[in-house]
Structure formats: C-alpha cells, structure tokens
Amino acid sequence: MDNSNLLASITYIDTERSIEAGEMKIVHTEHALHLYEDTVSASATHFHLANVWDMSYRSFSDEANLLYLHTHRGVVAYKVYTDPGHFVTTFKKLKNTNY
C-alpha cells in the first residue's frame, strides 16, 4: 500500500495460544491496522471501505479496548491498548461527510 494516502493507523495485538510439551504457550504479536481512503488493512486481511459499514469500540479492561469493524463478512474484533477514538472518528468522517 502507498503510505501517502494513509489516514490513520493503530496497533493491535494478536494472541496465539498453543500447547507444547504439555504446557500452554501464549504469544502476543503486534500488528498495525491502517485506514486508507479506500481500504482498511490488517496483517492478514484487507477490506474495501465500501464493505466496512461501521466501526466501534468498547473498553474491556483498564488497559485494553476491542475495536470492532462491522463488515460484509460479519464483525471483526481487534484488541488494542491505545484509545481507538481517533481511528474510529477518522473512519466515520471518511464514510459520512456530515459526521
């Protein structure tokens, strides 16, 4: 993607759990969610903006939030540790010029 039309970006955490030698391993990996003029891009998925109907977030602890993308494929949740308010507001302004 061309970063010249990057409107907003936020870091999200992907958590992978596995069992190795009878012991649970938890690996947290940081990725970036990027908002462009026509696309929302994550590490493994890309959504054309026409297919993202809404975006919202909820706090689920003192330190983390869940950022929700409401898409044509259902709701996709991303765990973020920073306030996603700016990211969501930028998206809503882009989708609705009267926001």
What's the average pLDDT block by block, 10 residues per block, for the chain (99 residues)?
Answer: 81 92 93 95 92 93 91 95 94 80
pLDDT value at residue 31: 97
* Three-class DSSP category at 53: strand
**Would you state the structure tokens that stand for residue 21, as one six-digit string?**
């030698």
Nearest to 10 by CA among 39, 38, 42: 42
Domain extents for the chain?
3-95
pLDDT value at residue 62: 81
Q: Write the class of the CATH domain 3-95.
A: mainly beta
